[in-house]
Structure 1
Amino acid sequence: MSETPEQYTRRILGYMEGKEPLAALAATAKKLDRLIKGMSTARLRKRPAPEKWSVSEIVAHLGDAEIVGGFRMRLILGSPGAPIVAYDQNQSPAADRRDPRAQAQTFIAFSAATLSLVSSIVCSTK
C-alpha cells in the first residue's frame, strides 16, 4: 500500500475512532493472546496471499511498534525536543522467522509497560 504519511496517520487514527486508546491497548494484548492460542506455528506463519502479512508477521510488527512507541514516549518525556528517529515498519528484521508466541509475549509485556507509563502521567496531571 502506497500512501503519504498524512494518509497513513488518518488511516491509523480512523481505527481508533470512538475508542479510548488505553482501554484499546489493554484489550488488544488480551485478545492477541486469546487469538493465537492453539494455532500451530505453521498456520501462524502462513501468508493469506503473497502480498499480505502472516499472523506471525503482524504479531512481530505489533511487538516492534510497541517497543519503538514506548521508547519514543520515554525519549519525549525525558528529553523534550530530542529528534524522533523513523523506522520502516515493512522492514521488520526476520519477522517471518521469529517465534510468534514469543513475539506476542513481547507485545503484551511492552504494552503493559506503556499502559503503566501513560497511566502514571495521566494520574499525575489530574
Structure 2
Amino acid sequence: MKIWFFYAVLSLLLYGFWGFFPKLAVKEISPESALVYEIVGALCVGITTILFMGFKVDFSPKGFLFAFLTGISGMVGTLFFFKATKGGPVSVVVSLTALYPLITIILGAIFLKEPITFRQFVGMAIALFAIYLMSS
C-alpha cells in the first residue's frame, strides 16, 4: 500500500469523526463555544507538529497568506457547520457540506485554468441533484 493512500484513509476516518462529534458538542454547548474548544484541540495538534518539526517551520509570504486564508475559511466554515448541526440532522448537514469539492473544482477552473472534464461535469450535476434530494 502506498503511504499517501494510508494517509488518505486515516483522513477519511478522522473527517468522519470530525463530522459526527459537533452534533454531540452542540447538544451541550453553543456552536460558538464548540468552535473555541475545537480551536484549542487544533492548537494542541499544531504545537505537537511544531515540536516534531524541531521548530523549523517553512516560510514564504505567499505560502503564509494562503495557509492563513485556509485557516480563516476553515474556521468560519466550521462555525457555520456547528450552527447547521445544532439545528439540522447531522446526516444531511455532513452530506451537504461534503460537496465542497464542487466549489474547489470551479475555483480551479477559473483561477488555475484547470479544465473541467465531461466526467467531472456530470459528477457535479449529480452532486447538485444530491443536494436537492438531501435537503428536500
Q: Normalising by the residue count of structure 2, what TM-score does the alignment of the two structures yield? A: 0.33
Structure with the larger helix share: 2
- State the structure with bigger RCO (CA 8 A, min sep 6), 1 or 2: 1
